[in-house]
A = this chain, B = another copy of it.
Amino acid sequence: MFNSKAYALGANRSCIRELFEYGRSRAAVVGEENVLDFSLGNPSIPAPQAVEEAIREILRQTPSVEVHGYTPAGGDMAARDAIARELNRRYDWDVTPQELFLGCGAAPELIAVFRALAVPGGKILAIAPYFPEYAPFVEESGLEFGVVPAQEPDFQIDMEALEALVTKNTQAVIVNSPNNPSGVVYSRETLQKLGALLEEKSREYGHPIYIVSDEPYRELVYDGTEVPFVPAIYRDTIICYSYSKSLSLPGERIGYIYVPQKATDGAALYAAVAGAARSIGHVCAPSLFQKVIARCTQIPPDLDSYDKNRRTLYEALVAAGYQVAKPQGAFYLFVKAPEGDGEAFSQRAKEKDLLIVPGKDFGCPGYCRLCYCVPYEKIQKSIPIFRELIGKTH
Chain A residues in the interface with B (C-beta under 8 A) = 1-11, 40, 42-47, 51-52, 55-56, 59, 63-65, 67-71, 104-105, 107-112, 115-119, 122, 133, 136-137, 140, 171, 207-208, 248-253, 265, 268-290
A11-B275, A59-B52, A111-B281 known; A207 vs B1 contact (CB < 8 Å): yes
A299 to chain B, nearest CB (A): 14
Distance in angstroms between the alpha carbons of A4 and B11 in the assembled complex: 33
For A276, what are the chain B residues with a Cβ–Cβ distance below 8 Å?
A: 3, 6, 9-10
Distance in angstroms between the alpha carbons of A111 and B3 in the assembled complex: 13
Are A69 and B251 interface neighbours, CB within 8 A? yes
Select which of B68, B109, B208, B282 is within 8 A of A1 by beta carbon. B208
A-B contact pairs, 15 of them (CB 8 A): A1-B171, A4-B272, A6-B275, A6-B276, A9-B274, A42-B65, A44-B65, A56-B56, A69-B251, A70-B251, A107-B281, A251-B290, A252-B288, A253-B253, A280-B280
For A140, what are the chain B residues with a Cβ–Cβ distance below 8 Å?
A: 279-280
Closest to A209 in B: B1
Number of copies: 2
For A109, what are the chain B residues with a Cβ–Cβ distance below 8 Å?
A: 281
Are B59 and A47 interface neighbours, CB within 8 A? no
Closest to A104 in B: B104
Are B283 and A286 interface neighbours, CB within 8 A? no
Closest to A114 in B: B3
Are B281 and A280 interface neighbours, CB within 8 A? yes
Closest to A118 in B: B3
Are B46 and A63 interface neighbours, CB within 8 A? yes
Are B116 and A3 interface neighbours, CB within 8 A? yes
Are A10 and B272 interface neighbours, CB within 8 A? yes
A2-B116, A251-B287, A253-B104 known; A7 vs B65 contact (CB < 8 Å): no
A275 to chain B, nearest CB (A): 3
Closest to A69 in B: B251
Are A6 and B251 interface neighbours, CB within 8 A? no
For A137, what are the chain B residues with a Cβ–Cβ distance below 8 Å?
A: 279, 281
For A275, what are the chain B residues with a Cβ–Cβ distance below 8 Å?
A: 3, 5-11
A286 to chain B, nearest CB (A): 5
Select which of B6, B108, B286 is within 8 A of A118 by beta carbon. B6
Select which of B3, B63, B110, B250 is within 8 A of A69 by beta carbon. B250
A1-B171, A6-B275, A10-B272 given; name 4 further pairs at CB < 8 Å: A4-B272, A9-B276, A104-B104, A112-B281
Distance in angstroms between the alpha carbons of A285 and B117 in the assembled complex: 26
A11-B275, A275-B10 known; A269 vs B2 contact (CB < 8 Å): yes
Are A47 and B68 interface neighbours, CB within 8 A? yes
Distance in angstroms between the alpha carbons of A9 and B274 in the assembled complex: 8
Are A272 and B63 interface neighbours, CB within 8 A? no
A40 to chain B, nearest CB (A): 8
A89 to chain B, nearest CB (A): 26
A43-B69, A63-B46 known; A284 vs B7 contact (CB < 8 Å): no
Are A252 and B11 interface neighbours, CB within 8 A? no
For A280, what are the chain B residues with a Cβ–Cβ distance below 8 Å?
A: 108, 111, 140, 280-281
Distance in angstroms between the alpha carbons of A59 and B276 in the assembled complex: 35
Distance in angstroms between the alpha carbons of A65 and B251 in the assembled complex: 9
Distance in angstroms between the alpha carbons of A7 and B70 in the assembled complex: 22
